[in-house]
């Protein structure tokens, strides 16, 4: 989202912090800088990751899972698949379908193919 | 008494009818080329359009003399295209979800042009589904002028926006806030 949208949303929150995590660029960069920054962000904040699909969310979710596996923090992973995904999942969706606590799809055809998915209609 | 009379290029009696073309955040020169071709311009004028606004992204600006019979405005980017959409009678858009949904939420007749050089399957999936639901018509650059001649915009149905509140309520329960 843009900085203006972010500020508008945050203006309604009671308590918030804003932490930037480096965007995944090249593959080697993805796992080192993103995972370390994700680790620090998740340890110091609310234990929930809400994402909607870009590849950059995968290392963040992986870090959340790792924290749980290591017994450091239970992180809830919520994934919302893009409205563009009508019949097939995105690559991020295909990976995170198995690892998310809640996996939302926006079209009924996907719910039929992926029974673990939650369908509440379109978000937009 | 002095009377001021304004002429537009089409006809003094016809009111303004505008088509807004948007290519999104990158570029889509093939779409701009196709929509300003002689056949497309002829088809648009035949349907009573008088004005065309082109949002070209980082693509090239077409020759201003390319669309005789239509008043042409061109820009690269704006902070928001909401007003251009609001003022239009037809939106011709690339297949990006953001542009499509913005046009549908503005209740505009929408023609989506899929870039078959990109072959982003998910954009095409969304365009196909929305066409099946009669919310838009889609075509490619090569079939654009034919579509502009043959399309039946009266068959399109209103797009009902989704309900994010359902999602918010679900999440509140799931994380134990209610």
Return phi, psi of residue B9, to 5°. -65, -30
In the structure, what pLDDT confidence band is assigned to residue A3 with cuts at 50, 70 and 90? low
Look at A86 and B174 and tell me if their CB atoms are within 8 Å: no
Per-residue pLDDT at A65: 87
- Cα distance between residue B114 and residue B126, in whole Å: 11
- Measured between CA atoms, how close is A123 to chain B, in angstroms? 5
- Cα distance between residue B97 and residue B130, in whole Å: 11
ipTM of the complex: 0.77
Q: Note the Cα B62 to chain centre separation in Å.
A: 17
Which residues of chain A make contact with B163, given a CB cutoff of 8 A?
120-123
CA proximity to B53, closest of B65, B35, B29: B35
| Beta carbons of B94 and B112 less than 8 angstroms apart | yes
Any idea which residue has 């982003």 for tokens? B120
Per-residue pLDDT at B140: 94
B interface mutation test: which of A86, A89, A113 has the most B CBs within 10 A? A86
- Measured between CA atoms, how close is B20 to chain A, in angstroms? 22
| Structure-model confidence comparison of residues A22 and B139, the more confident one | B139
CA proximity to A118, closest of B178, B176, B169: B169
> Three-state SS across chain B?
CCCCCCCCCCCCCCCCCEEEEECCCCCCHHHHHHHCCHHHHHHHHHCCCCEEEEECCCCCCCCHHHCCCCEEEEECCCCCCHHHHHCCCEEEEECCHHHHHHHHHCCCEEEEEECCCCCCHHHHHHHHHHHHCCCCEEEEHHHHHHHHHHCCHHHCCCCCCCCHHHHHHHHHHHCCCC
Per-residue pLDDT at B132: 96
Any idea which residue has 């994700």 for tokens? A38
CA proximity to B89, closest of B48, B133, B135, B32: B48
Task: Tell me the HSE value of A86 on the side-chain side, using a 13 A CA sphere.
Answer: 15
Q: Which of A38-42, A87-91, B39-43, B168-172 has the lowest mean pLDDT?
A: A38-42
Q: Per the confidence metrics, is the pTM higher than 0.90?
A: no
A interface mutation test: which of B96, B100, B121 has the most A CBs within 10 A? B121
Average pLDDT of the segment spanning B107-136: 90
Q: What is the pLDDT of residues B3-17, one digit of tens each?
A: 444 444 445 555 899
């Amino acid at each position: 989202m843009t900085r203006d949208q972010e500020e508008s949303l945050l203006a309604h929150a009671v308590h918030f912090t804003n932490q930037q995590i480096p965007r995944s660029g090249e593959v080697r960069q993805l796992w080192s800088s993103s995972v370390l920054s994700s680790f620090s962000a998740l340890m110091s904040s609310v234990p929930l990751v809400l994402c909607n699909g870009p590849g950059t969310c995968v290392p963040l979710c992986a870090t959340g899972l790792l924290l749980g596996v290591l017994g450091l923090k239970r992180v809830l992973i919520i994934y919302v698949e893009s409205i563009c995904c009508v019949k097939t999942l995105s690559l991020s969706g295909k990976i995170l379908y198995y690892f998310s606590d809640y996996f939302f799809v926006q079209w009924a055809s996907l719910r039929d193919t992926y029974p673990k998915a939650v369908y509440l209609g379109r978000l937009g | 008494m002095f009377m001021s009379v304004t002429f537009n290029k089409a006809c003094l009696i016809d009111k303004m009818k505008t088509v807004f073309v948007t290519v999104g955040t990158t570029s889509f020169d093939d779409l701009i080329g196709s929509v300003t071709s002689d056949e497309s311009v002829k088809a648009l004028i035949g349907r009573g359009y008088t004005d065309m606004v082109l949002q070209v992204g980082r693509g090239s600006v077409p020759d201003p003399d390319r669309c005789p019979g239509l008043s042409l405005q061109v820009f690269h980017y704006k902070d928001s295209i909401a007003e251009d959409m609001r003022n239009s009678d037809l939106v011709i858009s690339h297949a990006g979800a953001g542009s499509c949904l913005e046009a549908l939420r503005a209740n505009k007749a929408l023609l989506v042009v899929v870039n078959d050089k990109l072959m982003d399957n998910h954009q095409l999936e969304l365009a196909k589904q929305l066409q099946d639901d009669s919310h838009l018509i889609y075509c490619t650059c090569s079939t654009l002028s034919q579509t502009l001649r043959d399309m039946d915009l009266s068959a399109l149905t209103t797009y009902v926006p989704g309900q994010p509140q359902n999602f918010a309520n679900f999440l509140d329960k799931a994380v134990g806030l209610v």
